[in-house]
Amino acid sequence: MEKRRLGRTDLLVSKICLGTMTWGQQNTEAEGHAQMDYAFENGVNFLDTAELYPIPPKAETQGETERIIGTWMKARGNRDKVVLASKVVGRTANPWFRGGRPSKLVRADITDAVDKSLERLQTDYIDLYQIHWPDRAIPWGSNPTRVTGTARRHDDETPIEETLAVFDDLVKSGKIRHLGLSNESTWGVMRFIAEADKGTGPRIASLQNAYNLVNRTFEVNLAEACEREDVSLLAYSPLAQGYLTGKYDHGALPKGSRKELFDRLQRYEKPGAAQAFLAYNELARSFGLTPAIFASAFVCSRPFMTANIIGATTMAQLKEAVASAEVAWTEEMQAAVDNLHQKIGNPCP
């Protein structure tokens, strides 16, 4: 599988990154191990996880996904073959991360997070450590198509330079190799870069934001900023939480699906979304591809994308996702997608 450079680092990552957020809740430890075995046998070298996982987050399962990755790496003896990415939570009122109190992007909380992740992962370093979401009061995902309500800031907002200084110490100590952001805006990306250029801390290597057929907001400003600053896009949710597989078309609710189990897919249930999904899924079939392979292949084809973070609860889903990396994306496919996007826009930012 093709490998691409991560930002300005010396890391080469597969263009398919294996997402892990179902392991420890929807998937067992054995199933997680089997997924990693298959992915790595087929050219994947990149894993993405988080202290938050599995999803939906809850105190009883928090950190279980990292633990499963740790037992796999120990059993296989392959830590040196894995490019490992994890994340620290942003500002949250959920108390179970920090032993009964809320968490922010301050020194004590970041240090606590990385130490616990290292223990669960059974490693002494993390290749890419990401801020899962900002400390700032901004819309989830950081790239809305509109802003509603009155602009506000947290009274105790943690300055970016304060947060970045903590990561400087983590890099120097060897606990992490590189820093990445997630769910961040263009302003946030550029502020982190400006502070790094001043010598405050490490330069960000990557940005993990949602990107798919119904959410191309990354292209508006972030694509230029990241291209010029050598910040790699790690695209998550290529299948729009399953809606771009076709399984929810016409109001269907498959047994065992995330919608049926957890009903947490509201980001992809906006006005006009159902019609958009149906249009893209039918377009995929017109090219002789399953909707899932088509949607994932679109993400893999983008010139500004470094790694497409896929996720699966079954081996059949995983095999489709990995296969999407080998699809020859044509000018005809792109023109058809762009024509639909001109009509539909970004209903699910």
Region 92-106: mean pLDDT is: 96
pLDDT digits (tens, 9 = 90+) for 218-276: 999 999 999 999 999 999 999 999 999 999 999 999 999 999 999 999 999 999 999 99
Residue 143 has pLDDT above 90, yes or no: no
Q: Which residues contact 96 (CB under 8 A, 6 or more apart)?
A: 58, 59, 62
The strand pair at 16-19 and 176-182 is best described as unpaired
For the range 79-82, what are the long-range contacts, defined as Cβ-Cβ under 8 Å and sequence gap of 24 or more?
Answer: 79/123, 81/40, 81/45, 82/40, 82/45, 82/46, 82/47, 82/127
Region 309-332: mean pLDDT is: 97
Region 180-198: mean pLDDT is: 98
pLDDT digits (tens, 9 = 90+) for 271-293: 999 999 999 999 999 999 999 99
What positions carry a catalytic annotation? 53
CA 73/CA 157 separation, integer angstroms: 37
Domains of the chain from N-terminus onward: 3-344 (3.20.20.100)
CA distances to 272, 279, 280, 311, 339 from 244, in Å: 14, 10, 7, 13, 17
C-beta of residue 153 within 8 angstroms of C-beta of residue 136? yes
pLDDT value of position 212: 98
C-beta of residue 208 within 8 angstroms of C-beta of residue 202? no
State phi, psi for 325 to the nearest 5 degrees: -70, -20
Give, as one character, the DSSP assignment of residue 63.
T
Which of the four pLDDT bands, split at 50, 70 and 90, describes residue 150? low
Q: What is the DSSP string of 159-193?
A: PHHHHHHHHHHHHHHTSEEEEEEES--HHHHHHHH
Beta bridge partners, 103, equal: 92
Strand (E) positions, 45-171? Answer: 46-48, 83-88, 126-131
Residue 31 has pLDDT above 70, yes or no: yes
CA distances to 159, 164, 255, 336 from 126, in Å: 24, 17, 37, 40
pLDDT value of position 93: 95
